Amino acid sequence: METKSFSKKEQKHINRLKKRIEGDPRDSFAAFELVQILAAAGRKEEAFERCRILSRLENLPPTILEATAKFYFENKQFEDAKPLFERLAEEFPRRALPRYYLGRIYDQMGRLNDAIAEHQKAIELEPSSAECYYRYGVTLARNEQGEEAERCYHKAISLDRAHAKAYTNLGLILDLKGDEDAALRLFRKAVQYNPQSAEAHFNLGAIYGESGQHNRAIKEFRAAIALDPNSLEGHFNMGLSLYEIGDLDSALEAFKKVTKIDHSHEEAQYYLGMVYFRKGVYGKALKCFQQILQNNPENPTILYHIGVCYNRMDQPKKAIPPLKKVTEIDPEDGKAYYYLGVVYDKAGQSEEAKANYRVADEKFQKSERRSETA
């Protein structure tokens, strides 16, 4: 976030707040208002320092104590938030809120057993809270307790029929279990109740894509990207669906967007190469595949496509080394032997071509026999 300059009016108000705090260091309301102003202006470090001074005060009003704890939490300062929520839990033992936040903090810290204990306390104190059950489910899922997490999400939905995130997470569990129809219904519910959620649109798009409903998938991915323009997975998965329906120009733009956001995204780089390949732009396809090869020099799929690109560019001699390497990495790849035969033939090396065609035939026949006995 960029640092914002204060107007004369704002600076005057800030000076008044500072003067109030200097006159009475225990004026927590002025102190927290100053924290909020600094944070909104992008001056986070200054805001955190003011918060630390404020946090050390004894007998803070409950509203300020809670607001300060939430401020730390929302800004991912979990170590600073934790003692404040512990104070709230001690001062208000019948309130679920501090236990709920402590559960989330422990979850973020990876202390899942502690998180589970806090979520259980929150539910005991507020058994009608859908959000408490939802967050308990999140932690249970992270702790690889899928069945228990599933029950929590069902409970959250029974308490709040519009809890979009509970629908989403329950859908993810059912999708992993192979129940795509149920997952699809849940993801639709998530979008229905929270149409402004990029995650909800993305998950719905993903399950449409998995089931081959690519036009529907593209619609949902576009909605997700409109809400989160820098979503790598949104652009990438939309690119996959566009590629599958043959809209290569649009797929190209989607994969380009991914590689622009993340230069190291090899899957996007691969599909970018495949789009160029299918469009017949073999020089650009070759560059994409060669870039991937720098980090994966033993990747037979990439080596094969490099060989094919060279052949399509009428450079059969350059196609031979990568294709030979494929046969060394995977001696059972009949397709690589066959294509070696093609490029040797094109290069005028007929004996080598015949030898590779023979090996290719043997590999194909062997593969067919395996298929028949399987």
* pLDDT tens, residue by residue, 156-189: 999 999 999 999 999 999 999 999 999 999 999 9
Residue 207 CB contacts under 8 Å (≥ 6 apart), including other chains:
171, 175, 180, 183, 184, 187
Amino acid 351: pLDDT: 96
Contact by Cβ (8 Å): 232, 262? yes
Amino acid 8: pLDDT: 87
The secondary structure element, H or E, covering residue 295 is helix 282-295
Through-space distance between the first and last CA atoms of the chain, rounded to whole angstroms: 59
Alpha helices in 24-145 (DSSP H): 28-40, 44-55, 62-74, 78-91, 97-109, 112-125, 130-142
State pLDDT tens for residues 217-269.
Answer: 999 999 999 999 999 999 999 999 999 999 999 999 999 999 999 999 999 99
Amino acid 370: pLDDT: 61
Cβ neighbours of 76 (radius 10 Å): 10
Look at the alpha carbons of 72, 74, 77, 80 in this order and tell me if their dihedral is positive or negative. Answer: positive
Burial class (CB in 10 A: 0-12, 13-18, 19+), 50: buried
Question: Domain extents for the chain?
Answer: 299-366
Mean pLDDT of the chain: 94
Contact by Cβ (8 Å): 34, 20? no
**Fold of the CATH domain 299-366:** 1.25.40
State pLDDT tens for residues 262-300.
Answer: 999 999 999 999 999 999 999 999 999 999 999 999 999
- Report percent pLDDT > 70 for the chain: 98
Residue identified by tokens 């997952």 is: 183
Q: What type of residue is 199?
A: E
Work out the pLDDT band at 86, boundaries 50, 70, 90.
Answer: very high
Closest CA to 146 of 105, 168, 174: 174
Look at the alpha carbons of 340, 344, 345, 350 in this order and tell me if their dihedral is positive or negative. Answer: negative
CA angle 102, 137, 89 (to 5 degrees): 20
Phi/psi for 265 (5° steps) reads -75, 95
